[in-house]
Structure 1
């Protein structure tokens, strides 16, 4: 047997063990940091997804439902001067503040934006008036019950026909159409088409 071959001593084995331990600790630290980053990222993504989901749900469910639409205040040229839109909150919707609701009117004379009279600040093309048809708990202008019915009056033309409303655009002639886009504060949108009958003669008000 060749006894002249050197062998590892206790000190050499100790150095190898310490080096392995240092590498192991470094790997554990790196894994812990990576896990922390992944947990934080997952939490952020979850919060973002929940917020996005809630916004999507609000914009879908917090809608205003149109019950009926009528036209009256006919001009001398047989045109509709005022459109009254009676609304309620949609099934499953949360409370809807009509003072924060926006209406876009798209008609023969152009596109106009309206805000509620006494509602949100801004420079709209006109302002609609809110009146209660049914409001047992006096919540106007907030639709907080499925039984609530409020009428939104849009004053067309230049002369003021509705107290509290600000006129805009032009009256709707016989046979003409217009589109209403009613947007709730949460972003839910209701689109309705207004169709004026081909003759208004002999009528004081018509369904549009």
Structure 2
């Protein structure tokens, strides 16, 4: 079925045109491979960055260890005018800069927010905190929020109009406090003031 070519003069010859086409195909293949490798590298880098950001949004958050309020008298009885949050790093979190962390208060009197670094009251470093940055799981810091000062001064609009601070917490009042770290990880704390506040109390656990 197959004929054997014995005459050397009858064998096919590869011309210069075929060689040029072959070289061109090799070059095109090499360029395409280079583009694919560069694209794959870019996608890998982007995927790693996205993964790190997504992980930070989940893990780089703070946890509220305890919450207490300062009890003070006013014309209608006793109220809480200052709230102290003792905070720490959540398990698996990286370093957290408290100055760049945002605190938001939402409750019956409306809502307001500010960065912790803008608070009038300083952050009290209880254990191991340096420059208001939580670096270790054992670090503890106390964040003091005065509800009657201009700490919360975003002038949020409520049904009653503008306000420059949230206001004192009355007996039985509830608020929701949300901490948002620089990596956008959030921690929410529900606070409820006891229904009875007396002159025997200088502070109360919330």
- Which residue is equivalent to 1:5? none
**1:168 Cα shift?**
2.3
For structure 2, list consecutive stretches of 5 or more residues without a partner in the other structure: 1-8, 152-163
- Which residue is equivalent to 1:152? 143
**1:17 Cα shift?**
2.2
The TM-score, its normalising length taken from structure 2, stands at 0.79
Kindly tell me: are residues 79 and 170 of structure 1, through their superposed partners in 2, closer, same or farther at Cα, counting changes over 3 Å? same
SS in 1 for 2:122: strand
The TM-score, its normalising length taken from structure 1, stands at 0.78
Count of aligned pairs: 182
- Which residue is equivalent to 1:28? 26
Matches within 5 A, 1:118-157: 119=117, 127=120, 129-135=122-128, 139-157=130-148
In structure 2, distance between residues paired with 1:190 and 1:201: 31
Deviations 1:70-92 (A, max 9, x none): 11142413221111100011122
- Which residue is equivalent to 1:204? 202
Matches within 5 A, 1:154-193: 154-158=145-149, 168-193=165-190
In structure 1, distance between residues paired with 2:54 and 2:72: 41
Q: Is this contact kept in 2: 1:95–1:144, CA < 8 A?
A: yes
SS in 1 for 2:69: strand
Query: What RMSD, in angstroms, separates the aligned Cα atoms of the two structures?
Result: 2.4
Deviations 1:109-137 (A, max 9, x none): 22211223xx36xxxxx6553112223xx
- Which residue is equivalent to 1:6? none
Matches within 5 A, 1:16-95: 17-76=15-74, 77=76, 78-95=78-95
For structure 1, list consecutive stretches of 5 or more residues without a partner in the other structure: 1-8, 121-125, 161-166
Q: Is this contact kept in 2: 1:115–1:127, CA < 8 A?
A: no
